[in-house]
């Protein structure tokens, strides 16, 4: 990709942001003082899933720098890479080969000026991936964290905590199995059996199985959970427009994300933006912004050193033992959720501080305006750097996102 001459730090830049699904909107400025060109890229993964981690940007006007997410663009002469988990994405390759080396060399190069994880969990995975490599220090020197962002409306919390009726929980997630949809409907089933005032809404296209790296793949595993969608304590809405999702979140007492594996959990921060506290598992990135008893409820799971679910094993997903482990963990999470909900079943006013803190979390950690300025400032610094020098973080400017909501409160800003 052609690049314009190196600009001054104050110049309005032309930045090519590669449109990688919807994630790039969370990991780039929503509005910018620079000229942002949302550029298409060649979907090499359609030719082979093994090429998911690499791409070529569509041609266009010369730019000052390229910002890509997950897919490493070949030929970019000044690059910022953001990512959600592994970088490079080499899932199809257990051994090094020419493709893996090409992707790794691209992010090792001086042309790649920053590597930005969307969470501290992502950064831990990145360190785990490259630890011990002879080039590790060079990668670590330019790896930082910047949380996703989303636009916030000024809508007040309109949920009436004095009204009668069931405690309303909502699960939002296309990947039904991986994100905890099975636990969500089991919560509804247990509540129905025990005559507890709980109602669960499911917004999902019910995608399960082989396409999701953590789902059991034994035949018929998810059928009993799909049957639970017919319960009187469940409302199954299928897929819905984003506006309907937000309306449902705002009208719910809790958002459910009892996930087994989530590189971030966008539905959780969207719920918080709508004043709705989250019931989540303490895996992956969720502990970075859900604080138990403050802005939501956290369900413990056994985790690895990086923070992933310890029961995950891609190569065993078709085994009966893996299916049993997944089912048992689902049941445990459902029981634990109902136990944690006990104080709120008959006293909805106890939710008021959690709802306030949930919205405060969205404002402090994920608001689009300060995030956009942070990206803009990073673009300016990177564009002004000499490609003859090794890239490294600026301690005074390349500040990582807070590691937790408590840290964000302590710092007074996101």
Where are the strands (E) in 118-225, listed by range?
143-145, 167-172, 198-203
The rounded distance, in Å, linking the Cα atoms of 105 and 79 is 13
Token pair of 15 as six digits: 């930045």
Residue 14's φ and ψ, nearest 5 degrees, are -105, 115
What is the predicted pLDDT for the residue at 57?
82
- Residue 169: Cβ within 10 Å count: 24
For residue 207, the SS3 value is strand
Q: Which helix (H) or strand (E) holds 359?
A: helix 352-366
Sheet containing strand 296-299, strands side by side: 234-238, 198-203, 167-172, 254-257, 278-281, 296-299
What is the predicted pLDDT for the residue at 51?
78
What is the predicted pLDDT for the residue at 215?
97
The rounded distance, in Å, linking the Cα atoms of 108 and 112 is 7
Contact 370, 414 (CB under 8 A): yes
Task: Look at residues 263, 260, 358 and name the one whose alpha carbon lies nearest to residue 310.
Answer: 260
In the chain, residues under CATH classification 3.40.50.2000 are 167-366
What is the predicted pLDDT for the residue at 413?
46
Token pair of 391 as six digits: 């890239």
Q: What is the residue-averaged pLDDT of the chain? A: 93
Token pair of 220 as six digits: 């018929």
Assign domain 167-366 to a CATH class. Answer: alpha beta
Low-confidence stretches of the chain (pLDDT < 70) are 1-10, 47, 412-414
What is the predicted pLDDT for the residue at 412?
59
Contact 141, 115 (CB under 8 A): no
DSSP string computed for 174-203: SBTTTTTHHHHHHHHHHHHHTT-SEEEEEE
For residue 8, the SS3 value is coil
pTM for this predicted structure: 0.93
């Amino acid at each position: 990709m052609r690049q314009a001459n190196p600009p001054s730090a104050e110049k309005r830049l032309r930045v090519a942001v590669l449109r990688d699904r919807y994630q790039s909107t969370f990991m780039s400025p929503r509005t910018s003082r620079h000229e942002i060109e949302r550029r298409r890229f060649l979907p090499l993964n359609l030719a082979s899933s093994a090429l998911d981690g690499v791409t070529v940007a569509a041609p266009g006007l010369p730019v000052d720098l390229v910002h890509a997410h997950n897919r490493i663009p070949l030929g970019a002469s000044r690059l910022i890479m953001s990512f959600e988990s592994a970088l490079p994405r080499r899932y199809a390759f257990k051994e090094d080969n020419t493709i893996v080396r090409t992707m790794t060399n691209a992010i090792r190069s001086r042309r790649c000026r920053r590597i930005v994880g969307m969470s501290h969990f992502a950064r831990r995975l990145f360190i785990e991936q490259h630890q011990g490599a002879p080039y590790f220090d060079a990668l670590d020197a330019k790896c930082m964290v910047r949380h996703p962002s989303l636009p916030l409306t000024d809508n007040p919390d309109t949920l009436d905590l004095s009204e009668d009726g069931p405690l309303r929980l909502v699960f939002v997630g296309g990947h039904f199995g991986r994100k905890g949809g099975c636990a969500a409907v089991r919560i509804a089933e247990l509540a129905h059996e025990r005559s507890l005032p709980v109602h669960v809404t499911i917004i999902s296209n019910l995608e399960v199985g082989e396409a999701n790296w953590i789902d059991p793949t034994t035949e018929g595993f998810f059928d009993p959970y799909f049957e639970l969608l017919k319960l009187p304590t469940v409302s199954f809405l299928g897929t819905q427009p984003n506006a309907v999702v937000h309306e449902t979140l705002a009208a719910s007492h809790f958002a459910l994300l009892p996930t087994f594996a989530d590189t971030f959990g966008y539905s959780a921060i969207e719920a918080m933006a709508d004043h709705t506290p989250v019931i989540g598992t303490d895996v992956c990135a969720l502990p970075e912004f859900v604080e138990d008893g403050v802005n939501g409820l956290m369900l413990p799971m056994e985790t690895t050193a990086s923070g992933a679910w310890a029961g995950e094993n891609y190569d065993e997903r078709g085994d009966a033992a893996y299916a049993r482990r997944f089912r048992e963990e689902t049941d445990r999470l459902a029981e634990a959720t109902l136990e944690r909900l006990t104080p709120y079943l008959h006293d909805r006013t106890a939710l008021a501080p959690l709802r306030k803190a949930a919205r405060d979390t969205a404002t402090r950690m994920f608001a689009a305006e300060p995030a956009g300025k942070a990206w803009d400032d990073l673009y300016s610094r990177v564009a002004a750097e000499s490609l003859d020098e090794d890239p490294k973080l600026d301690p005074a400017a390349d500040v990582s996102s807070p590691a937790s909501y408590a840290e964000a409160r302590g710092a007074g800003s996101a």
